[in-house]
Amino acid sequence: MKERVKSMKKKGWSEKEIDKTLSMLAKNRSSEYERTSNRIIYWTVLLVLTISNFLVAVLLIPFLLVISTVKFYLLIITLGLIFGLLFDLLVRDIEHLKTKHHVFAAVFIPIIAVVNLFMMITIANRLADFLNIGITESPVFASFIYVLVFILPHIINLLREEFFQ
């Protein structure tokens, strides 16, 4: 840093110009650090939500075998709403993200959730057949309900920002 200041002084820069330039460089470094840390947080959030969705899908298998259809769908709706709110909160609070990052997250997480839920219900249905339990659920319908409820908080916030701010 001292070398840079000496070089600027040799070239005829005033103290005010040197201070202003150094201040701008410091801000630029801070901004780059924020962008880098926000990218790390973004990908970490996506990874955590993906793993969480998978774990929830696996943990739901025993419940699917013992609870009624109505209770199962209430559970799916509740979990979809909780994960949707968490997803929306985490993705919105990360600054310096471009629109493509938000779109990717808004598409990627629900797709992963649908795949997990679809696999979970299919496994549970096969297990129910194996155990001669007369409970079967539609993986497609349950996945549709889950995704609909999951993306609802994000859509509501997008509409709220677009029309009310």
Q: What is the pLDDT of residue 77?
A: 92
Looking at residue 97, its pLDDT comes to 60
Q: What is the mean pLDDT of each run of 10 residues along the chain (165 residues)?
A: 71 82 65 65 79 80 82 89 84 66 73 79 83 78 86 84 77
Q: What is the Cα–Cα distance from 137 to 70, expressed in whole angstroms?
A: 11
- And the tokens for 142? 């349950």
The rounded distance, in Å, linking the Cα atoms of 88 and 114 is: 17
pTM for this entry = 0.64
